[in-house]
Structure formats: structure tokens, C-alpha cells
Amino acid sequence: MKPPKRRRKRKIPDPGIARLRPGGFLNSRIPVSQADKLLLFDIDGTLVDTEGAGLGSLEDGFFNAFPHCRGKDFPPLDLGGATDGSVVAFLFEHFEIDDHDGHRELFFDEYIIALDGRMGDFRNRGKGRVLPGVPELLRELEQRDDCLMGLLTGNIEAGARLKLRYFEIDHHFCFGAYGNDHPLRNELGPIAIDRAEGMSGQRFEPQRTVIIGDTLKDIACARAFGAHVIAVATGGASYEQLESGKPDVLLTDLAKTDEVASAIDSLFQ
């Protein structure tokens, strides 16, 4: 009998940033204690457009992790606002793969390898972009002592870290709630608040918190824990679709820093 094939050991890319603690990463300055507004940013469609790198990497990562499934159709995925945790559960069910920690780890390791490859390739080819006004807005908000910025995203933490690092905006964020924290996006708000407290020593009530995101799921997530929400129509949902979700503020994009800063302030008056 032939011995089982040994898996080739592959190196998982590490963007080289020391993780401070679970859910917290990056080398942003230590948040100032007088911050009284918590700003939680979604990533895809809000801060950056990876032009399909995430979706392609999920597919590549999946077939690399489970090569016996190659040849079968990869199902269409609706990633807008979904968590990576829920996506993997769907894929495992679709391909009849046992859903346990070992398989999840295998899949996400391959996903990160694939994502790192695609993002590097995209950068070389000039694909993918930071959305209009985002670098300026993040720089402006970071100067403000009254705001603490974090992430609330369906990406797993390693994926979030990679994407932001490729677009060189990672240093603005020192913590977040991620798609590996809970499969349901609506459960991520309280996790983000706990992480904000862990990083700053300060407790932010939901009414002092605003989510900035590009889908109806971001709006629902904010409502689920009583936070404010600014919707921005730079992702998968149109302005009209977002309007139907009744966000507190709806913007076409984040291009005008003063307009976004004013919108944030208007929520807390």
C-alpha cells in the first residue's frame, strides 16, 4: 500500500506586524484617553476595492486546501457584508466537507497564501485601489483626539491585515472585530466595543459608536447593537439600495473629508 501523500509545507505570509493581542494589531499610536467617539470601519467597498482578489483567493484557497474537490463548480458567493466565517460554513456544506477547526485552519491558511499572491500580483499590475478620499480621511481623523478608529469587518483578521497593508493604510487601525470572531456580522459590534476598551481603557457606549460601511448588512449590524451608521455607496450596494436601509447618513463616497467629518459630528450632537 502506498504511504499517504505528505502535504507540502507552505509558508503562511505574515505582513510582519506584531500582533498586540487577539483582535488588536498594528502599530498605531496608543489611543488617547479623551476619545469619546468610536468609529468602526468596514473594509471591502468602504476603504478599498480589491477588484475580486478576495473572491478569487477564496476559490484558490479552497481548492488548494481540498484538492479532491477540484473539477466541481465553485458556487457563486454573495460576499457583500458576509463574514468569512459564514462563507466557509457555506462552502463546507456545499462541498460536503466536515466543518471542524482543523479544516477551517487548513482552508484559511491556504486562503491567506492565495490572497497574498493575488494582492502582490495586483499591485504589480496596478489593480486594486484605495477608495477616493480614504487616505485623507483616515489621516484627518487620526489627528482628532475625540475619535478612536477600529475595524468591523467580515474579513478574518489575517485577511484584513493583508488587505490594509497592501494599500498602506493599516497603521490607522489598532484593533477590530473580524469574521473569525463570529460568523454573524450582527454579533461583531459588542466584540468591537470590548476590544476598543481593551486598547484604550475606555468604555464606548453604542450611542457613542458609528459604523461606516457599504452594504445593508453594515446598517443591520449597527442597528443590532444600537450604534449609528454612515452608509457609503462605493461598494456592492447602490445609493438607492442603501437608502432603503435608512442609515443615519448616506454618502456617495468618502471623497470629501470635511463632509464626512461633519457627518460624523452631526451624529453625536
Site string for Mg ion, 232-261 (x = CB under 5 A): ---x--------------------------
Question: What is the Cβ-side half-sphere exposure of residue 25, based on CA atoms within 13 angstroms?
Answer: 23
CB atoms within 10 A of CB 2: 4
Q: How far is the CB of 214 from Mg ion (least distance, A)?
A: 4
* Minimum CB distance to Mg ion smaller for 116 or for 214: 214
Question: What is the Cβ-side half-sphere exposure of residue 47, based on CA atoms within 13 angstroms?
Answer: 29
Q: How far is the CB of 205 from Mg ion (least distance, A)?
A: 25
* Minimum CB distance to Mg ion smaller for 131 or for 199: 131
Q: How far is the CB of 43 from Mg ion (least distance, A)?
A: 6
CB atoms within 10 A of CB 143: 8
Q: How far is the CB of 235 from Mg ion (least distance, A)?
A: 5
| Residue 214 lies near Mg ion (rule: CB under 5 A) | yes
Return the residue nearest Mg ion (CB atom): 45
Phi, psi of 145 (to 5 degrees): -75, -15
Q: Which range touches Mg ion (CB under 5 A), out of 21-29, 83-91, 141-149, 227-235?
A: 227-235
Q: How far is the CB of 167 from Mg ion (least distance, A)?
A: 14
Q: What is the C-alpha to C-alpha distance for residues 143 and 195, in angstroms, rounded to an integer?
A: 21
> How many amino acids of this chain bind Mg ion (CB under 5 A)?
5
Q: How far is the CB of 44 from Mg ion (least distance, A)?
A: 4
* Minimum CB distance to Mg ion smaller for 181 or for 214: 214
The C-alpha cell of 265 is what? Answer: 459630528
Element (H, E) at 129: strand 129-130
- At position 260, the amino acid (one-letter code) is V
Listed in sequence order, the residues at least 6 apart from 258 whose beta carbon sits closer than 8 Å to its beta carbon are: none
Residues 41-100 close enough to bind Mg ion by CB under 5 A: 42, 44-45
Looking at residue 44, what DSSP letter applies? B
Q: What is the C-alpha to C-alpha distance for residues 55 and 77, in angstroms, rounded to an integer?
A: 8
Q: Which range touches Mg ion (CB under 5 A), out of 65-73, 120-128, 138-146, 214-222?
A: 214-222
Using CB under 5 A, list all residues that contact Mg ion.
42, 44-45, 214, 235
